[in-house]
Amino acid sequence: MVLSSGSDRKNEAGRRREDTKMSEHFVTRYADAEATLRIPDLHQALYDADTIFLPRTVVCLHGKDHIQKKRLFMGVFNRSFFRHYQNHVFPAALKETLDPVIASGKGDMAKFGYRVLVNLVADSAGVDRAHTEKDTDRLLALIGKLGHAPTMGQLTDPSDRDRLLAELEEALEAFRTEFFEPSAARRRELITRVEAGEMDEKDLPNDAITAQLRQMPTDDDLPYDERVKDGAFFILAGAFTTANVLMNTVNEVLDWVDKHPEDRQHLIDDPLLMQKFIWESVRLHPASPITKRRALCPMHLPDGHEAEQDEFVTVDLTKANRNPDLFGEDAESFNPYRTLQGRTPLHGLSFGMGAHSCLGKMLAVGVQITEGNKDAEETEFGTIHMVMEALLRRGIDRDPNRPIKIDESTTRRHFITLPFRLNPELASQPA
Ligand code: HEM
């Protein structure tokens, strides 16, 4: 999961190595990375710089506290949630974002991607909205500001830090009053009605805020401030990562169908092939290029090095995912028809591994699609698949008048703009 573009500046690894006087270990081989992420005595350290927003969220907790919060959220993501989401919530959220694009015949993935994903993930978090573009953009702006939290410790100018801290507090307060509190209040009222026997339990919303209110109802069970931050973090973790993967996938697919036009229709018709394209894109461009841990005690690392207590271990997911010994000599290039030996997933380590592995993987990319389940009505395809299919059906194409712009200063490919048009000649469904 990536929370900001500032944390992955290309020169950052070198700078940190200097700051920490060589006490940081870098893991780049796939097998070592996988084994390292499973070590229980390595504590999450990627977001250490942020002292306000993330410390009590699931991604930073460790041990029992982590297990407790993760279980609660995992309880939300059950099969009935996904089915309801895919069949009811998703089509409405997609339509809401797609309609203006269809009306104008063009769009920009750098806006569309975030809008569609923030709408989808806000529903699973349990954050109610007015369902207008203005409202979506307001939520996006607030969550975007919170995405700067983890980089604060790396700022050299202290006045910048004060300014960002103030902005962060402001964004959290605005998120609380404008989005969180009205959503939580509505849910508290519904829960009271269920408890009074006036409403059926099955009619309660199935989302993260409701789950927390039901299982940890009082502020003694879970402080109010922590609930607000959990709600905001859920949207940040889910929407921003998935939007990044979606943009990279659109970009790779448009290049691919340019050279292999026959695959445009194959992608629409064959969910198994679509998943291969998505996994290949997420392997090459993990939304989080690195993850980082701190040793809680002296230990031997799987790559043969020793780590002292409090030393950092950085796992380079991009490099691990491009190991030629596992992914072949063409590991650096986009080849969705790649086949692998053994049990290595085609998406590599892009969803993490071990205790902190991604909670929302199924929501983003669905279950493993097979010949057996690809046509079944109940199969979960994941949000990226569904957005890609909708865009391909409407003939998504490069816009010849508006070139793409990528911010090359980060290892994570950040699209400044990724324009597209809906080309009626390529559409298999009228735009
Ligand atoms: C393609 C999209 C996604 C990618 C590539 C992705 C990637 C990741 C990665 C690499 C981690 C591990 C971070 C670490 O080890 O430090 C992670 C954790 C997490 N992800 Fe995702 N993620 C995606 C979508 C989502 C979605 C849709 C949600 C929720 C709606 C979500 C929620 C989380 C949460 C809550 C964690 C923290 C889990 C923990 O610490 O135990 N992610 N994700």
Cα-to-centroid distance, 362 and ligand 1 (Å): 10
pLDDT at 10: 40
Find the residues whose C-beta lies inside 6 A of ligand 1. Answer: 1, 44, 46, 58-59, 70, 121, 124, 234, 237-238, 241-242, 245, 282, 287-288, 291, 350-352, 356, 358-360, 363-365
Stretch (H or E) spanning 290: strand 290-295
Position 280 scores a pLDDT of: 98
pLDDT at residue 222, as a whole number: 93
- The pLDDT, as a whole number, for residue 79 is 76
Residue 421 CA to ligand 1 center (angstroms) comes to 30
- Answer yes or no: pTM beyond 0.85: yes
Would residue 431 count as lying in a domain? no
| 244-303 pLDDT, tens digit each | 999 999 999 999 999 999 999 999 999 999 999 999 999 999 988 999 999 999 999 999
Quick one: pLDDT at residue 300? 97
Nearest CA to ligand 1 atom 21: 358
Pick the residue whose CA is nearest to atom 40 on ligand 1: 59
Kindly report, residue by residue over 311-352, the tens digit of the pLDDT: 999 999 999 999 999 999 999 999 999 999 889 999 999 999
Element (H, E) at 185: helix 181-195
SS3 306: strand
Asked whether residue 14 is assigned to any structural domain, the reply reads yes
Tell how far CA 258 is from the center of its chain: 28
Q: Would you say residue 258 lies in a domain?
A: yes
Distance CA 162, CA 168 (A): 10
> Is the confidence at residue 428, as pLDDT, over 80?
yes
Whether 213 shows a pLDDT value over 60: the answer reads yes
Q: Is residue 126 part of a domain?
A: yes
Give residues with Cβ within 8 angstroms of 217, minimum separation 6. Answer: 191
- Which two tokens mark 297? 């005690």
Is the confidence at residue 27, as pLDDT, over 90? yes
Question: How many angstroms is it from 74 CA to the middle of ligand 1?
Answer: 12
How is residue 109 written in tokens?
């993935």
- pLDDT tens by residue, 97-111: 899 999 999 999 999
Cα 288 to middle of ligand 1, angstroms: 9
Q: Using pLDDT thresholds of 50, 70 and 90, give the confidence band for residue 8.
A: very low
Residue 1 counted as domain residue = no
Q: What pLDDT band is residue 155 in, cutting at 50, 70 and 90?
A: low
- Average pLDDT, stretch 127-147? 90
**Residue 9 confidence (pLDDT) above 70:** no
Q: How far is the centre of ligand 1, averaged over its atoms, from the C-alpha of 189 (Å)?
A: 30
Q: Residue 91 is inside which H or E element, if any?
A: helix 90-104
List the domain range (segments joined by +) for residue 165: 6-426
Which 8-state DSSP code applies to residue 409?
T
| Closest among 189, 212, 265 to 73, alpha carbons compared | 212
Weakest mean pLDDT among 39-43, 129-133, 214-218, 326-330 = 129-133
> What digits encode the pLDDT tens for the residues 156-169?
676 777 788 888 89
Closest CA to 411 of 291, 285, 240: 285
Q: Are strands 24-27 and 312-316 parallel, antiparallel or unpaired?
A: parallel
Phi, psi of 173 (to 5 degrees): -65, -40
Q: pLDDT at position 154, please?
A: 56
Structural domain includes residue 265: yes
Atom 20, ligand 1: which residue's CA is nearest? 358
Asked if 168 and 3 touch (Cβ cutoff 8 Å), the reply is no
C-alpha torsion 98→104→107→113, nearest 10: -10
Q: For 364-419, write each residue's pLDDT tens digit.
A: 999 999 999 998 888 889 999 999 999 999 999 999 999 999 987 666 678 999 99
Report how far ligand 1's centroid is from the alpha carbon of 21 (Å). 30
Q: Is residue 69 part of a domain?
A: yes
Any idea what the CATH number is for the domain that residue 378 is in?
A: 1.10.630.10
pLDDT > 90: what percent of the chain? 69
Please say whether the dihedral angle defined by the alpha carbons of residues 346, 350, 356 and 359, taken in this order, is positive or negative.
negative
Residue nearest to atom 19 of ligand 1 (CA): 358
pLDDT at 6 over 80: no
Q: Is the dihedral of CA 332, 333, 336, 341 positive or negative?
A: negative
Overall number of domains in the chain: 1
pLDDT in tens, 171-199: 999 999 999 999 999 999 999 999 999 99
Are the CB atoms for 382 and 365 separated by under 8 Å?
Answer: yes
